[in-house]
Amino acid sequence: MDRAPARPTGSALQVRGLTYEAPTGQSLQGIDFDVAAGEIVGLAGIEGNGQTELAEILAGLRRPTSGAIRVDGTDTAGLDVAGHRGAGIGYVPEDRLRNGAALDESIADNLVVDRHHRAPLARRGLLRPSAVRDHAEHLIEDYAIRTPDASVPVRALSGGNMQKVIVARELSAQPRLLIASQVTRGVDIGAMRFMYERLVAARDAGAGVLLVSADLTELLALADRLLVIKDGRLVARFDDTSGLTEKRVGLYMLSVERHDPAHIAAGLEEVSAA
């Protein structure tokens, strides 16, 4: 995909010494990385190597065992999901059916679930149905969601349109940091290209984007920088993806090759836990 070079403007996310002792699944050890505002950082790895756990920690769905996490200067490691959203974090989960949407609720309700208490959607604590409808109709048009009406339950939508509802909700909140996990899984080519364009547009508008994907073609097309995770540790960091190949990334995913830990941590600023 053609895109202009990233223009990082500051720090969106800083992770230092992150560990997570998983009761099931993959534990994480010694995770250190940054995401700048105005860039897309890709996270590559064979599924099951800690990507899910890391994304859910950053979104507030899990608590880290130790380490420091800062989003735009705010310590988020001990916050709940609402606190993470309040800190400016948007999250597109890998399982949209389980975590991404309230399937039996309408498109309109899904698009306001994180902001129904705020003006102009609410006044004096009461939801304004006309404002909710107007909000939904605007996003349906802007994100090309194919539906006859905003009252349609999300469950009735195709996979691509359901994903557009989730992406529309998250990006319309103008997050400082967007965590996008497997954002194009199970969608058609048209919806896939639409998602790509919106992720790049969010980057260009100043958001930091952490893109977690099992699709190396997707990562190399979108990521300005690339990290590789294996067995719950970061094993490689590429600050220039222009000449990077899937074959080379695959060698690091399989631990045939590894970067020195000093290379992975190079250039990271000091961050202390609050």
Tell me the per-residue pLDDT of 192-205, one tens digit each, with 9 for 90 and over: 999 999 999 999 99
180: containing domain:
10-88+175-265
Q: How confident is the model at residue 118 (pLDDT cuts 50, 70, 90)?
A: confident
In a domain, 61, yes or no: yes
Q: Identify whether 198 is part of a domain.
A: yes
Count other C-beta atoms under 10 Å from residue 107's C-beta.
27
Query: What is this structure's pTM?
Result: 0.93
Residue 69 lies in a domain: yes
The answer to the question of residue 166 being in a domain is no
Residue 273 pLDDT > 50: no
Strands 225-230 and 10-20, bridge-based pairing:
unpaired
Residue 152 within a domain: no
Q: Say which CATH number the domain at 182 has.
A: 3.40.50.300
The answer on pLDDT for 129 being more than 70 is yes
Q: How far is CA 190 from the centre of its chain?
A: 20
Q: Are 67 and 61 in contact (CB under 8 A)?
A: no
Looking at the domain assignment, is residue 218 inside a domain? yes
Q: Is residue 185 part of a domain?
A: yes
Total tally of structural domains belonging to the chain = 1
| Residue 128 confidence class, pLDDT cut points 50, 70, 90 | confident
- Residue matched to tokens 């941590």: 265
Q: Is 70 exceeded by the pLDDT of residue 271?
A: no
In a domain, 237, yes or no: yes
Q: What is the mean pLDDT of residues 36-59?
A: 97
